[in-house]
Structure 1
Amino acid sequence: MIFRNLLTARHVSVEPLLAGATVFALTAGGIAWLTKSFAVADGFWIAGTVIALAPAVAWVVAALRHGRVGVDLIAVLSLLGTLAVGEYLAGSLIAVMLAGGRALEAAAERRASKDLRALLAHAPRFARRRIGAEVTVVPLAEVAVDDLLLVGTGEVVPVDGRLLGPAVLDESMLTGEPLHVERTAGEPVRSGAVNAGSSFEMRATATAAESTYAGIVRLAEQASAENAPIVRLADRLAAWFLPLTLVTAGVAWLVSGTAVRAVAVLVVATPCPLLLAAPVAIVSGLSRASRLGVVVRSGAALENLGSATTLVLDKTGTLTIGRPAVVEVLTAPGHDVDEVLGAAASVDQMSAHVLAEAIVTEALARGLQLTLPEQVVEEPGEGVHATVAGRKVRVGKLPTNALDAAWAKAALNRARLDSAAIAWVSVDGDPVGAVLLRDPLRRDAPRTIRRLRIAGINRLVMLTGDRAEPAREVATVLGLDEVYAQQSPADKVAAVREEREAAVTVMVGDGVNDAPALAAASVGVAMGARGATASSEAADVVLTTNRLDRLADAMDIARWSRRIALQSAAVGMSLSLIAMAIAAIGWLPPAAGALLQEGIDVAVILNALRALKGNPATEVELAAETEELLRRFAAEHDELRDAIGLLRDCADSLVSGDPAALQLLVKAYSFLTDKLLPHERAEELQLYPSLARPLGSGEATATMSRTHAEIQRLSDRIGTHIALAKAGNGIQQDQVEDLLACLYGLYALLQLHFVQEEENYFTLADLDQPTEPNHDANNKLGRSQM
């Protein structure tokens, strides 16, 4: 029993107590020696050596049971050797070194439990079964195939089944997609989905143990259990250092004929740089990462993160924001954007639907004044209607025969092209506009992907439960190597396992459906800011801020820390090799060797502490004035982006022959000269010069400066066309073609230019990120918008 306890000592966090005991023994022995109580001093030092020797033997035995010969074996031989030849001070010094290194590692490796409590907490435990007119609540284990079940609003679907009527479901826990889905009678429904509409009935097609959600839990448990123990960096280096040490000690013993010479070799060969320097560098890396909002749960995870070459990413919530946002508002002739959006938001402020929240957020961001609606009625799957300022406003679905107008058909086509959802807006029964919504790409995603490539990731793979079209679009924009769409949790696990067989693989995700894949990866990274507890529990790394670029920061830190650890170990071991040679020829006794080794320790530990400061080659220092400028121009982008649509509207009016085309053209030109061009000039004169230092060169913004010149040229050309049109009493036919080229070209150029600036420059600063809404499944009401 005692031996078994020793073998499991590392799992009960005894390392700090062990380190304290060895330090006390060394200190007490030193005090006794100074008072000339040599026997007492030897007693304390022997005690310290024995205290460290017992768990060290247990650690060696545990490593041998796993088929590994680790760095601890040299320490055990050194401790035994010092006791055998009476070099007790040397033994006590080695004990402090050994215990200190283990305490550092233990501090780095204490990690949260992987028991997937959040997965189990979300899993349903009861079901409402209907027999005739009677509905009873029964334990989930009692549900049998063909049972008739009732699922109320906000409840979790208990088992897999088939719908007996229409339903609106939130399947984000299964697929990661934030948009609700509408199912019809006869369609299958999976356990773990949340009823986001009115109550519905279903016929069970599987028991709880055989249903989808139980399968996700099993996948996560199996993936966690199958991961092999990670070999420490110190153990890998010890694979060649250990035999070299034993051979040198043996030769010294044979040549000199005394065991003291061999012990002296073992003492100076005790791998302090491995036992201390490497853990110090790793712990320093963990500390630095935590200050950036990256929680790395073990030193081994940081080591693996630093050597990874393959990155697998989920889409929703990882590469995209993870919630829908308004991307465009289209209006019927005679209506403007603010009117349509304001009416829709006034009604939607009384709805808990995920799309309604996006519409209200957009309206408030534009500074629109909302009106409190009356007689609000929400129909799950259809929409919401209410009375606003005496008019009947409806947001949601519209009858098919109401969508025959050309503008409505154009809106449908735009939604298909953009893979967007549509919220139709009608007033007093007449369609007046359409709000297009989609889950937008994270602003920092492209720059982060580029940084990860530079950091050593040579394969980028996306796994998503979303449809193929939006997945391919995101992959194309980011330049990913592979994309797999419509992936179930089991598919994701299989793909991660396949990638892991070829290289050290990092998986990034944010939802419950990602938890099994995170557990299966070499390193699982969870986007923890969105509150996906299950994925955070299953992950080795948690990003506590809603910023994907922190992943690139974490990899930079991991690679720098690993580099420092290897550098410290290499320098320290080289010095130890020199000391071994001196000890082998008899010029260095054990006690003096132990003191010399402590000097080497101090040197390599000081070097290892450099990991706290980070790699200067990857550090981007922003002055406070520069960060303030970035905030200012980012806010101006948000204000200007919607107005850019004036250019396209003006071009569309020219194509259709609208008599008001010139008036609209003048309005667009006023926007260019009064707002857009002053913004671009301010960027050129204020922002770009201040970015020269953090970017390393003024040439870094040269391409953006050239774009500014082109924006100015096209704007001037439009102004010339206006002057010609006014002189000729209207836009002449020979002007139309060039005007269209200017307007459409400038619109496309500005869209691209804004995105480039936001990706390349604005992400350098920790700008305010949009907060994630806290959707309570029990308060969700469904509405299909397509």
Structure 2
Amino acid sequence: MTWLRDRLELILFVSSAVSLVAGGAAWLPGLVALAHGLWLAGTLLGLAFSIGWTVDAIRRHQPSVDVIALLALAGALWVGELFAGAMITVMLASGQLLEARAAARARRELSLLVERAPRTARRRVEGGVVEVPVDEVAKGDRIVVGTGEVVPVDGRLMSSGTLDEAALTGEPMPVERPVGDEVRSGVVNAGPPIDLTAIAVANESTYAAVVRLVEQAQASSAPFVRTADRFAAWFVPLTLLVAGVAWALSGDPVRAVAVLVVATPCPLLLAAPIAIMSGLARAARAGVVVKGGGALERLAAGRVMLFDKTGTLTHGQPTLADVITASDRVDADTMLRLAASLDQVSPHVLASSIVTGAARRGLPLAMPEDVHEEHGYGLRGQVGTQEVRVGKADWIVGDTQPAWVRQVRRRADLDGSLTVFVAIDGKPAGAMLFQDPIRSDAPRMVRALRGAGISRVVLVTGDRADIADTVGRIVGVDTVLADCDPADKLAAIRSEAALAPTIMVGDGVNDAPALAAAGVGVALAARGATASSEAADVVLTVDRLDALADAILIARRSKRIALQAVLTGMGLSLVAMVAAALGLLPPALGAVTQEIIDVLAIGIALRAVLPGKVHTIAMPSSDIAVAHELKIEHDAMLAVVEQIRAVADRLSTEDGDLVPAHTLFDRLERELLPHERADEALLVPLVDRALGRTDTTVALSRTHAEIEHQVSRLRRLLTDLDNDTVQPEDVVELRRLLYGLYAVLRLHNAQEEESAFSLVPAAAGRASNA
């Protein structure tokens, strides 16, 4: 029975089409009785289904144009217009089939949530550890959670631990939790095995609550009302009125039947789904999967856009942001190369970020030897002839904290960064800072969304307020809601939905309830499927946020074309209804006229297949190749920018040592300036060609000139200082100039990421944070 129910529309369409075509084939050689029998079967089939659809609409108190089809089929039987009846059945069946396919969507919102939920827990008992079903865990039980395992129930830590809480908060940075902290179910142990005491049973724990929120949000989502049904509120009464008046004035029931035949809502049942289906196809080609025509219409209607931060406006994983050296003994590149070489064999969550950071700078890595993990502290091993340690500050520098460590921690606290410290040959070498960088295309995407008709943009995140506010300012949102758990996000959706149709964008398990509750839920799944992509109505399969603005434009264009097709078809149907009421169109001719109207309406709807306006920028392959090369050079300049700040930090008014400054200046002239000149010669014209105008790159050219100017000033200052005795005020001026150059380069690099490299497919990569 389930198989039959799932394929009912297809069976109806095939059966009705066979009866119509077979009847026509029988009629051509003169087998009129057989033809009428086949058409009669098709008409009766349509009548049976129309009765069912109409009864269902009445039971749901929902207006429906299906009643017109019911009356038209009954009238065709009454006056013997069997061909017209069979044709109406085919049109109804094709409309139902198209609508069913357009509205079909994945109903597996809870599947990944349920699959991810732990089925068992490891409980400590006398003599060891036993594995038990998670439902058997009681409050007070002591649970062991291994590395990479999901915490099965809410608990209190008996030992410190490193936890990946992204599933609940969306925050990608692992969190260090001390003994006594409460841990929620659903988070992942990202460090050594931990012990915790259960403070809630499984069905009362946090992760179970997330699943229930998804269920409740789905239950509260209003069903999609067909375009045809919205027109039915006035079209059905009007049709019945015209048919009744025609019958009453003429005394001929055939006129009423003719009115019903030409009023059969095929433009609604065919033209609208064709336009919507065309929109779905165009969106898919843009890298956006829209799960059904209902979702496409709701996407077109959206006016308020809500974004999760992590993985949506940011990259969603820790990225190397800065390398700080403890002294001049080891430079930043050497320290990073040795740390990345050691971390090639580490399973730690930050190891891949360290290795990726070194690879982006083109540093050659060696395979480590004699590697040992110090649980809870870090990793040690031999890289070439040097002994390397990577891990926590206390393990690297000991209990006493020198000034550079305090500086690192202060910067990390201000920026919301994560730190990893490095020692080489038993001596502290420095530290690495990690951030979740803002996506370079996020600000441009928000501007594109406003151009596509979004009137309000809201950032709703589980992250802390200062970080969220920073992201909101850079990206350009209207409102920031921070420190939100899944329930808070759900409340925000409902609050905004009371004012205007909402669209929610997220990529984590914690976003699933909000995605299900929003008018349209949008998930980013370019880096793999998540529970959010199952709960969403729209899924971005490309790692480009501007595709969402394209999808909105496509949705609105498709809806507009569908409306044009419907209005044109129904308008002509109204004219035909008047003609039929006056006796100018008998049922047979009315059926032919209706077919002509249908073809015209479908032709209008097929315009949705043609390309329309989008925000995505097409670039020739030669320009893409050039941009890729410049991006590699751009990433390689990160170390130079960091060296500027490091040299400025260590300048002393006491000893006046200018050797590091001269070394830096040589590197600026040898590496940085040639790169900036290449950007001006190649990247600026490339962006101008891509955008079709030259005013957008004025700022880029201005900062290129400013960088040249600042380096020239540095040259003159160093030349003057070489010829004179270095005074404290000279060192202060040199430090001021270096910090100014550092600030200009940081802003310029972010500017290039946003306005240039974000335009290039597969070239934007990770934000530079330089």
TM range (shorter): over 0.9
Alignment counterpart, residue 121 of structure 2, candidates 118, 121, 127: 127
Matched, 1:699 2:699: no
What's the counterpart of residue 488 of structure 1? 485
2:347 counterpart letter in structure 1: A
Matched, 1:539 2:536: yes
Matched, 1:339 2:334: yes
Measure the CA separation in 2 of the matches of 1:10 and 1:81.
30
Matched, 1:556 2:553: yes
What's the counterpart of residue 436 of structure 1? 433
Preserved contact between residue 138 and residue 200 of structure 2 (Cα < 8 Å)? yes
The residue correspondences of 1:222-261 to structure 2 (distance < 5 A) are 222-261=216-255
3-state SS of 2:350 partner: helix
3-state SS of 1:136 partner: strand
Matched, 1:521 2:518: yes
Flag the 1:143–1:252 CA change in 2: closer, same or farther, 3 A: same
1:499 counterpart letter in structure 2: E
Name which of structure 1's ranges 504-513 and 682-691 shifts more when overlaid on structure 2.
682-691
Flag the 1:761–1:58 CA change in 2: closer, same or farther, 3 A: farther
Measure the CA separation in 2 of the matches of 1:60 and 1:636.
66
Two-structure CA RMSD over aligned residues (Å): 2.7
Preserved contact between residue 26 and residue 93 of structure 1 (Cα < 8 Å)? yes
**What are the Cα deviations for residues 453-512 of structure 1, in whole angstroms up to 9, with x where unaligned?**
111222222222222222221112112222222222222222222222332212222122
Name which of structure 1's ranges 664-673 and 531-540 shifts more when overlaid on structure 2.
664-673
The residue correspondences of 1:89-104 to structure 2 (distance < 5 A) are 89-104=83-98
Measure the CA separation in 2 of the matches of 1:10 and 1:270.
27
Matched, 1:404 2:398: no
What's the counterpart of residue 782 of structure 1? none
What's the counterpart of residue 279 of structure 1? 273
Matched, 1:70 2:64: yes
What's the counterpart of residue 210 of structure 1? 204
What's the counterpart of residue 150 of structure 1? 144
What's the counterpart of residue 165 of structure 1? 159
Preserved contact between residue 114 and residue 224 of structure 1 (Cα < 8 Å)? no
Preserved contact between residue 512 and residue 532 of structure 1 (Cα < 8 Å)? no
What's the counterpart of residue 168 of structure 2? 174
What's the counterpart of residue 12 of structure 1? 6
Displacement of 1:143: 2.1
Matched, 1:500 2:497: yes
Flag the 1:736–1:572 CA change in 2: closer, same or farther, 3 A: farther
Name which of structure 1's ranges 394-403 and 166-175 shifts more when overlaid on structure 2.
394-403
Structure 1: which 5+ runs fail to align?
773-786
Preserved contact between residue 171 and residue 194 of structure 1 (Cα < 8 Å)? yes
Flag the 1:585–1:551 CA change in 2: closer, same or farther, 3 A: same
Preserved contact between residue 403 and residue 409 of structure 1 (Cα < 8 Å)? no
Preserved contact between residue 360 and residue 635 of structure 2 (Cα < 8 Å)? no
Flag the 1:657–1:563 CA change in 2: closer, same or farther, 3 A: farther
Flag the 1:769–1:75 CA change in 2: closer, same or farther, 3 A: farther
Displacement of 1:50: 2.1
1:699 counterpart letter in structure 2: D
Measure the CA separation in 1 of the matches of 2:725 and 2:611.
63
3-state SS of 1:518 partner: helix
Displacement of 1:676: 4.0
Measure the CA separation in 1 of the matches of 2:705 and 2:532.
47
Alignment counterpart, residue 610 of structure 1, candidates 596, 604, 607: 607
Measure the CA separation in 2 of the matches of 1:10 and 1:101.
19
The residue correspondences of 1:617-656 to structure 2 (distance < 5 A) are 618=615, 620-652=617-649, 656=653
Displacement of 1:275: 1.0
Displacement of 1:183: 2.2
1:563 counterpart letter in structure 2: R
Measure the CA separation in 1 of the matches of 2:766 and 2:179.
36
Measure the CA separation in 1 of the matches of 2:112 and 2:392.
36
**What are the Cα deviations for residues 139-171 of structure 1, in whole angstroms up to 9, with x where unaligned?**
222222222333333332222222222232222
What's the counterpart of residue 584 of structure 2? 587
Matched, 1:220 2:217: no
What's the counterpart of residue 599 of structure 1? 596
TM-score, structure 1 as length reference: 0.91
Measure the CA separation in 1 of the matches of 2:603 and 2:412.
59
The residue correspondences of 1:287-326 to structure 2 (distance < 5 A) are 287-326=281-320
Flag the 1:33–1:670 CA change in 2: closer, same or farther, 3 A: farther
What's the counterpart of residue 388 of structure 1? 383
Name which of structure 1's ranges 227-236 and 651-660 shifts more when overlaid on structure 2.
651-660
Displacement of 1:91: 2.0
1:590 counterpart letter in structure 2: P
Displacement of 1:83: 1.9
Measure the CA separation in 1 of the matches of 2:87 and 2:626.
55
Measure the CA separation in 2 of the matches of 1:537 and 1:736.
59
Displacement of 1:328: 0.6
Flag the 1:713–1:489 CA change in 2: closer, same or farther, 3 A: same
Measure the CA separation in 1 of the matches of 2:683 and 2:342.
41
Measure the CA separation in 1 of the matches of 2:603 and 2:661.
67
2:698 counterpart letter in structure 1: A
Aligned residue pairs total: 764
2:85 counterpart letter in structure 1: G
Preserved contact between residue 191 and residue 348 of structure 2 (Cα < 8 Å)? no
Displacement of 1:743: 3.9
3-state SS of 1:277 partner: helix
Preserved contact between residue 258 and residue 585 of structure 2 (Cα < 8 Å)? yes
3-state SS of 2:553 partner: helix
Flag the 1:722–1:457 CA change in 2: closer, same or farther, 3 A: same
Preserved contact between residue 163 and residue 186 of structure 1 (Cα < 8 Å)? yes
What's the counterpart of residue 710 of structure 1? 706
Preserved contact between residue 653 and residue 732 of structure 2 (Cα < 8 Å)? no
1:14 counterpart letter in structure 2: L
Flag the 1:52–1:164 CA change in 2: closer, same or farther, 3 A: same
Alignment counterpart, residue 747 of structure 2, candidates 738, 747, 752: 752
Flag the 1:571–1:132 CA change in 2: closer, same or farther, 3 A: same
What's the counterpart of residue 417 of structure 2? 420
**What are the Cα deviations for residues 386-424 of structure 1, in whole angstroms up to 9, with x where unaligned?**
233344322111227566333222222221222111101
Flag the 1:545–1:203 CA change in 2: closer, same or farther, 3 A: same
Preserved contact between residue 182 and residue 381 of structure 1 (Cα < 8 Å)? no
Flag the 1:258–1:347 CA change in 2: closer, same or farther, 3 A: same
Name which of structure 1's ranges 431-440 and 492-501 shifts more when overlaid on structure 2.
492-501
Identity %: 51
Displacement of 1:283: 0.7
What's the counterpart of residue 357 of structure 1? 352
Matched, 1:566 2:563: yes
1:324 counterpart letter in structure 2: P
Measure the CA separation in 2 of the matches of 1:71 and 1:681.
67
Flag the 1:721–1:147 CA change in 2: closer, same or farther, 3 A: closer
Matched, 1:509 2:503: no
Displacement of 1:353: 0.8
Measure the CA separation in 2 of the matches of 1:771 and 1:517.
27
Preserved contact between residue 161 and residue 204 of structure 1 (Cα < 8 Å)? yes
Name which of structure 1's ranges 368-377 and 512-521 shifts more when overlaid on structure 2.
368-377
What's the counterpart of residue 194 of structure 2? 200
Preserved contact between residue 164 and residue 188 of structure 2 (Cα < 8 Å)? yes
Structure 2: which 5+ runs fail to align?
none
Flag the 1:10–1:605 CA change in 2: closer, same or farther, 3 A: farther
3-state SS of 2:550 partner: helix
Displacement of 1:565: 1.2
3-state SS of 2:370 partner: strand
